[in-house]
Structure 1
Amino acid sequence: MKVLVVGYGSIGKRHTKNIVDNFDADIIICTKQKNINLPRNDIHIVKSIEDGIDQNPDIAFITNETSFHIKSALQLANKGIDLFIEKPLSNSMKDVTTLEKIINKKKLITMIGCNLRFYPPIKKLKN
């Protein structure tokens, strides 16, 4: 499995660590940062989403700035890449419907992060 992590701030680092700790995956990180500490030596760094897409990831974790979530997701979804988008989905509704249509048309597995989604009291309320 190849995983692309778009953005390497605190959330991108947390997702990368979780992937390293729990999966045997090739990891690609898309970041403009220089001199970053990586949890493994074989992690590939790219400077653009296009370069990340060229690595043929199976899934992408979108953890960059909220205002870029939809733009990033559209680029990745158009290439048929499954998505995990960190919350919130966006800072506006612009292009959300377009993204939804692409996800549905391509039958992509897509999830938006929510740290309380599996919290037992919230699940009980939902039921």
Structure 2
Amino acid sequence: MTARRGFTLVETIVGMMIIGISFYLLMTVFITITPKTNLDQDTNTKTFLAQEVLEEYLAKGFAALVDVSPTAFPAPFNNYSYRISVKNVQAGDLNTDVGLGTNYKNVTAYVWGGNLSGTYEITTLDTTY
């Protein structure tokens, strides 16, 4: 008897089934991960924009820190907006606005927009002596 080369029909069908099941499992993983990737990208963009606008704003100096009404970012981030809230606070309570005349300001940048809902905020404390 001579040796035959190749696969039998049963081996070919089993191999195709294994490949099909593997492909299905991989596609399920990709479909599950894609929305989370979009959420992570949107969160990272909002974080970056909040940090950027806060750093630029704080560079103006202590005396120039006042509230900023909602403003859109320039392109390519024009689908995101921000506002800045400034509270004059005291050393004993850094969250309660006490009006003018303190050496501490609680500054918060709020960023919203993009593909997903939700607002990201970043807060810092600025002081002068």
Q: Say which structure, 1 or 2, has more relative contact order (CA 8 Å, 6+ apart).
A: 1
Specify if TM > 0.5: no
TM-score, normalised to structure 2's length? 0.19
Which has the higher Rg, Structure 1 or Structure 2?
2
Structure in which a larger fraction of residues adopt strand: 2
